[in-house]
Amino acid sequence: MRDRDINLSFADLFTIGIGPSSSHTVGPMRAAARFVSELENAGGFEATTRIIADLFGSLALTGIGHGTDKAILAGLAGNRPERTSPEDFAAIATRAEDTSTLLLGGKKDIRFVPADHIRFNFDEVLDEHPNGMRFTALSEAGPIFDMEFYSVGGGFVLAKGESAAAQTSGHNLKLPHPFTCGDELLEMAEQSGKTIAEVMLANESAWRSEEETLAYLHEVHDCMSQCIERGCAQEGILPGRLKVPRRAKAHFERLKSQPERALKDPLTTLDWINLFALAVSEENASGGRVVTAPTNGAAGVIPAVIAYYERFCSSASKKGVEDFLLTAAAIGVIYKKRASISGAEVGCQGEVGVACSMAAAGLAAALGGTNEQIENAAEIGMEHNLGLTCDPVAGLVQVPCIERNAMGATKAINAARLALLGTGKHMVSLDKVIETMRQTGLDMGTKYKETSQGGLAVNVVEC
């Protein structure tokens, strides 16, 4: 599924969507919505009286916990993740369950019994990808149209036979700095006399004006900040059979009530960083509005590190936030081109590991690091996440995912600090660590790749 020549924009990597999973919620929702529009294009919409959605591999094994069934319903009803509120998302599923009908494409009611018409094929994996799904439209006479899709991570979706380039909005564009790896990024930055953030911003001009890119960047930043605020205000139990209590609000109240603690314990800062990550990850786990950064499972890392930068670094500025996010995006582009950002393909090293690497680079940039120090920070951020498995308990993006985001955020800050202490010269390059991550992901057993068949998922007894 990799394609080093695809063009990826900031807006491809950072999308505003719905939790809890970019590959298992956002991707299937996009695939279902696309299926309906392809059905219309093929002239089969009017005759359709039934739809069957078949889920395979990781989507079948962890789909219920990840809200894949609800995402399919929302997508078939013509909704897109970026324009659907969490409330509408939930209401669509409730309507289908209560009435056994679905408003196909938002236009006509068909009979739809979620328990019968969304089929979880637990023992079958499609050859092309571990996150496979097939939609079949039927008339009274039988099947009339079908399509197969793969949710390849970060909310990206491919139809059968499509190249990776088809996932992106800019496969025909010519970028001023078409870097495909860390070495090229450094070389192009040096030749043009730009920072990594400036290289990324210049590339974005192939899609839209600088003003539009920065406006979207700040929309993403606002969404991240609001997510922290919402997470700090919610309490109760997260959805799903694990009955995991939300912790962010109590944690927030405790920190606010003891401001003098920071004078005695400088590591109170760490408590705040943990809080920021927990708040976003709990919002994600409850199906809230989050930014895929680069995935939903890892959505807490980058917002937590940005919040740390804004609240605890004396040099913080609006320009610093822009540099942070543009630099993080440049690093995310390389992972997407050369390896994967999908837990089902390479384990959690591709999700929290990549987010950690992106955040480390972003923070190093915001704090004024050189391009070499930034590349070093990104490398350190991944080097110490290599081999990280994906083993969500009960198929929910909660345990270990929520705390793992906090660990990813604190590790990212340490990676940036380590890199900023050095000269930028280091032994393991970013490209070497990305290739190692890819190979490690290939070698990793399927049970450790978002199937809930290994690791904590089998060793933690559900209450």
Q: How far is the CB of 45 from ligand SF4 (least distance, A)?
A: 35
Q: How far is the CB of 453 from ligand SF4 (least distance, A)?
A: 12
Residues 6+ apart with CB under 8 A from 383: 428, 433
| Contact present, 287 and 20 (Cβ < 8 Å) | yes
**In the complex with ligand SF4, which residue's Cβ is closer, 103 or 393?**
393
| Contact present, 133 and 54 (Cβ < 8 Å) | yes
* Closest of 456, 450, 455 to residue 62, by C-alpha: 450
Q: How far is the CB of 224 from ligand SF4 (least distance, A)?
A: 17
Reading the block at residue 130, the tokens are 């571990």
| Contact present, 78 and 106 (Cβ < 8 Å) | yes
3-state secondary structure 275-302: HHHHHHHHHHHCCCEEEECCCCCCCCHH
Q: How far is the CB of 171 from ligand SF4 (least distance, A)?
A: 27
**In the complex with ligand SF4, which residue's Cβ is closer, 294 or 392?**
392
**In the complex with ligand SF4, which residue's Cβ is closer, 152 or 201?**
152
The rounded distance, in Å, linking the Cα atoms of 350 and 353 is: 6
> What three-state secondary structure class fits 219?
helix
**In the complex with ligand SF4, which residue's Cβ is closer, 157 or 352?**
352
> What three-state secondary structure class fits 58?
helix
The rounded distance, in Å, linking the Cα atoms of 159 and 153 is: 14
**In the complex with ligand SF4, which residue's Cβ is closer, 288 or 297?**
297
The rounded distance, in Å, linking the Cα atoms of 179 and 186 is: 9
Q: How far is the CB of 14 from ligand SF4 (least distance, A)?
A: 17
Q: Which residue is nearest to ligand SF4 (CB)?
A: 297
Binding site for ligand SF4 (CB under 6 A): 297-298, 343, 348, 351-352, 390, 392, 397, 400-401, 404, 450
**In the complex with ligand SF4, which residue's Cβ is closer, 240 or 297?**
297
* Closest of 218, 250, 258, 204 to residue 231, by C-alpha: 250
Largest CA distance in the chain: 75
Which neighbouring-strand residues pair with 139? 142
**In the complex with ligand SF4, which residue's Cβ is closer, 197 or 348?**
348
Q: How far is the CB of 352 from ligand SF4 (least distance, A)?
A: 5
Residues 6+ apart with CB under 8 A from 398: 238, 240, 242, 244, 285, 392
Reading the block at residue 296, the tokens are 């939903």
Q: How far is the CB of 235 from ligand SF4 (least distance, A)?
A: 22
Q: How far is the CB of 145 from ligand SF4 (least distance, A)?
A: 32
DSSP E strand stretches across 142-297: 142-153, 156-159, 289-292
| Contact present, 63 and 24 (Cβ < 8 Å) | yes
**In the complex with ligand SF4, which residue's Cβ is closer, 177 or 411?**
411
| Contact present, 71 and 31 (Cβ < 8 Å) | no
Q: How far is the CB of 132 from ligand SF4 (least distance, A)?
A: 18
**In the complex with ligand SF4, which residue's Cβ is closer, 175 or 299?**
299
* Closest of 345, 362, 371 to residue 306, by C-alpha: 362
> What three-state secondary structure class fits 234?
coil
Reading the block at residue 403, the tokens are 């705390």
Residues 6+ apart with CB under 8 A from 260: none
Q: How far is the CB of 290 from ligand SF4 (least distance, A)?
A: 12
**In the complex with ligand SF4, which residue's Cβ is closer, 288 or 343?**
343
Q: How far is the CB of 392 from ligand SF4 (least distance, A)?
A: 4
The rounded distance, in Å, linking the Cα atoms of 146 and 135 is: 5
**In the complex with ligand SF4, which residue's Cβ is closer, 157 or 298?**
298
Q: How far is the CB of 449 from ligand SF4 (least distance, A)?
A: 8
The DSSP letter of residue 449 is B
**In the complex with ligand SF4, which residue's Cβ is closer, 104 or 352?**
352
